[in-house]
Structure 1
Amino acid sequence: MNVVSVLTYKSVEHMLRDGGSQAWRADRRRLRRATYVVTARHARGPYKSEGPEAHKHAFLVGKITEVVDADIDGEAHDPDEKPRNKIMFTEYALIDGPELPLAGQNPVQYWDSLSDLNIDEAALNWQTAPEPVVLSPMDRAKEIVAQAHGVSADRVDITIRF
């Protein structure tokens, strides 16, 4: 197993800002053995898609550098539950498809190679990802509200009265 694929509603810009793709319930040992993460559009989930790609179509390949605990909306981790995972990458390549041959409903699936997904590794144009952005608590709150209502964060104002 060399590749993990994930279905995500998040855009390329969102993942680059976060430093990777998150927050996945998956076996961390299996994720860490993978060399590549392939992100595909999840256009039929509970969150509004942030990209134009068709459902199940791949749009980014990342070279996995690390798998860490995901920060889920700044919430404390439930000690009785395994933490979700953030798949980090510092190099990525944008692709236009293909539709992934996914089996079942799990948004996280494993593959032996990129060729199993009809992706030509030699044709990938690798780019260096920018440093992840660390959001202030207020900006993070705006992101959460924006996601819940399907709008961009710059459309959200939060007022605090004392």
Structure 2
Amino acid sequence: MAKVIGIFTGKDLKWMESEGGSGYWIVRTDRIKSAEYVILIRNHRETWAVKDGLGHGQAFMVGKISGCIPTKKHAGRKLIQISEYALLPDTENFKKAWKKLTAGQRYPVAYLNTNDLLQNIDLDVEKLEWSAFNANPNAETASHESEIIAEEAVDETKELSEIIAEAKEMIAHAAGIDVDKVNIQISF
């Protein structure tokens, strides 16, 4: 049973290849690095989202995770790197996949496993036909090992801030407001 990251995204394969993977997410690096696969599920709620005939909440692609790096475009966010991908057919079992896999959670990142995929959407990743993920060579990448090590060290010290950032995003999404309108107060 392999670990899987579920991503609710408005981006398609071409867009992800241009960016070098699936981004830009508030996630813990260790959780991504311990996962083997990412399943991409269509989100039409963003005005910029790709409208390609797939339904909102429909699973459209599975990728093999090859890494997770910090991004310079959006502070505190990560890019999930993909080495290979498999496009999923437009069949009934993949429609409403987000709801089937996460009970419709509002936060766009879900931590799953291959048994969840098999049981809830009848997807066996072992039977997929894989193609090379052609990441744009000019896409953002971690250029030095020291950058990755430094980011992982920051992950450990920023855990509370990441949790707060995730909570703020979830609350804002659920309330239909901008993230900067959400304040979280902690009393010790």
Normalising by structure 2, we get a TM-score of 0.61
Residues 25 and 84, structure 1, Cα contact 8 Å, conserved in 2: yes
Change (3 A) 1:23 1:117: farther
Does residue 130 of the first structure (1) align with residue 134 of the second (2)? Answer: yes
Where has structure 1 moved over 2 Å in runs of 4 or more? 45-52
Residues 65 and 81, structure 2, Cα contact 8 Å, conserved in 1: yes
Pick 1 or 2: higher relative contact order, CA cutoff 8 A, min separation 6: 1
Residues 21 and 135, structure 2, Cα contact 8 Å, conserved in 1: no
Give 2:22's aligned residue.
Answer: 21
Question: For 1:12-161, what aligned pairs fall within 5 Å after superposition?
Answer: 12-72=13-73, 77=75, 83-96=76-89, 98=94, 99-100=96-97, 101=100, 102-103=102-103, 104-113=105-114, 114-118=117-121, 119-134=123-138
Give 1:9's aligned residue.
Answer: 10
User: 1-side partners of 2:119 and 2:17: how far apart?
Assistant: 25
**RMSD over equivalenced CA pairs, Å:** 1.9
Residues 37 and 61, structure 1, Cα contact 8 Å, conserved in 2: yes
Structure with the higher fraction of residues in helix conformation = 2
Identity %: 28
Change (3 A) 1:112 1:69: same
User: 2-side partners of 1:117 and 1:47: how far apart?
Assistant: 29
Runs of 5+ consecutive residues of structure 2 not aligned to the other structure: 140-188
Runs of 5+ consecutive residues of structure 1 not aligned to the other structure: 78-82, 136-162
**Per-residue deviation, 1:123:** 2.7
User: 2-side partners of 1:3 and 1:63: how far apart?
Assistant: 9
